[in-house]
């Protein structure tokens, strides 16, 4: 197996692991945040606007971690910085 094939295989596997593991945490975190918000809304319905606003800000922060993992996996697949190193060694 040559270096180009090895870099391609490692990039694909790493991108898959990045998405798989990088979305697992935020998914569980979002579920837990929504469950806690619903519990808080059931206990204090008067504070619904504050709880909802805080929930949406928190969900946006949690979702940003999943988006960062997606960006890293797309960089590995389509703009891999290791390709330049391999191409320079071949020439």
Please state, in angstroms and rounded to a whole number, the distance separating the CA atoms of residues 50 and 56. 10
Q: Decide if pLDDT at 23 tops 80.
A: yes
What's the mean pLDDT in 20-26? Answer: 92
> Whole-model pTM?
0.76
Q: Could you give the domains of the chain? A: 23-81 (1.20.20.10)
Please provide the average confidence, as pLDDT, over all residues in the chain.
90
* Residue owning tokens 């800000």: 57
Average pLDDT over residues 46-70: 94
**What pLDDT shows up at residue 33?**
95
Q: How many Cα atoms within 13 Å fall on the side-chain side of residue 49? A: 1
Give pLDDT, residue 68.
94
| Exposure on the CB side of residue 68, measured as CA atoms within 13 A | 9
């Amino acid at each position: 197996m040559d270096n180009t094939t090895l870099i391609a295989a490692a990039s694909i596997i790493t991108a898959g692991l990045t998405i798989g593991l990088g979305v697992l945490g935020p998914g569980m975190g979002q579920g837990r945040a929504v469950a806690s918000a619903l519990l808080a809304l059931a206990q204090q319905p008067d504070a619904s606007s504050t709880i909802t606003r805080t929930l949406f800000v928190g969900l946006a922060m949690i979702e940003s971690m999943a988006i960062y993992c997606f960006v890293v996996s797309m960089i590995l697949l389509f703009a891999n910085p290791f390709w330049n190193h391999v191409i320079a060694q071949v020439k």
